[in-house]
Amino acid sequence: GAGVSQTPSNKVTEKGKYVELRCDPISGHTALYWYRQSLGQGPEFLIYFQGTGAADDSGLPNDRFFAVRPEGSVSTLKIQRTERGDSAVYLCASSSIPGLTNNEQFFGPGTRLTVL
Amino acid sequence: ELKVEQNPLFLSMQEGKNYTIYCNYSTTSDRLYWYRQDPGKSLESLFVLLSNGAVKQEGRLMASLDTKARLSTLHITAAVHDLSATYFCAGSYSGAGSYQLTFGKGTKLSVIP
């Protein structure tokens, strides 16, 4: 079956602009996560959705970052007034039911964001 | 707050040799995961370890978990070039209701012919 998909694969923008990154999780997966991976580092958690609601947004670095999942499937990560420090690969992951024993998360290919 | 440390961060090994990557974590972790990442690619799940003493093997890779020592290991047996990649361990703690993964910095493995 189809895995997690993310669009665009690459996004180049100018400092101060607004960007949207999209994630389409595996069909039927109720849990969706956003992570950010800087060069040479491990992914860092941003936000977790269970269904339509953001159950944990403690990883969002500041109020320029926002994410939605209005119908409990596709999610959009929105970044306002982008800064050069926002440049990273943004990864999306989904899992079936977090309370299940292993909660294996399946990752998408990521969106590489470059802020000039 | 869960913290995860891996070592070594860089590992260069010859084909046919054995080696171990170590993953220490700071507090209780319900589950321990190992992922592989090839350059420019996303993360591929390798193992999920759930309980003390858990051991899982897939091909030349074997992962184990010691919850008392807060240590997981990824053992590579008779390395081949195809295993060259970055390996991440990650823990998660569901106590706060979130199932987020906390990753180590990764171990970049290069297998030299």
Residues 12 through 51 of chain B touching chain A, CB cutoff 8 Å: 31, 33, 35, 41-45, 48, 50
Distance CA B92, CA B40 (A): 25
- CB contact under 8 Å between B100 and A33, yes or no, is yes
CB A75 within 8 A of CB A49: yes
Distance CA A43, CA A73 (A): 22
Task: Nearest by CB to B31, from A103, A106, A107: name it.
Answer: A103
Pairing of strands B107-112, B10-14: parallel
For the record, the structure tokens of A29 come out as 């997966």
Distance CA A63, CA A60 (A): 8
- What residue in A sits closest to B3 (Cα-Cα)? A44
Give pLDDT tens digits along chain A (116 positions).
589 999 999 999 999 999 999 999 999 899 999 999 999 899 999 999 998 989 899 999 999 999 999 999 999 999 999 999 999 999 999 998 776 667 789 999 999 999 99
- Amino acid (one-letter) located at B108: K
Cα dihedral: B6, B34, A2, A45 (round 10): -40
Distance CA A61, CA A47 (A): 10
Distance CA B76, CA B78 (A): 7
Which of helix, strand or coil describes residue A60? coil
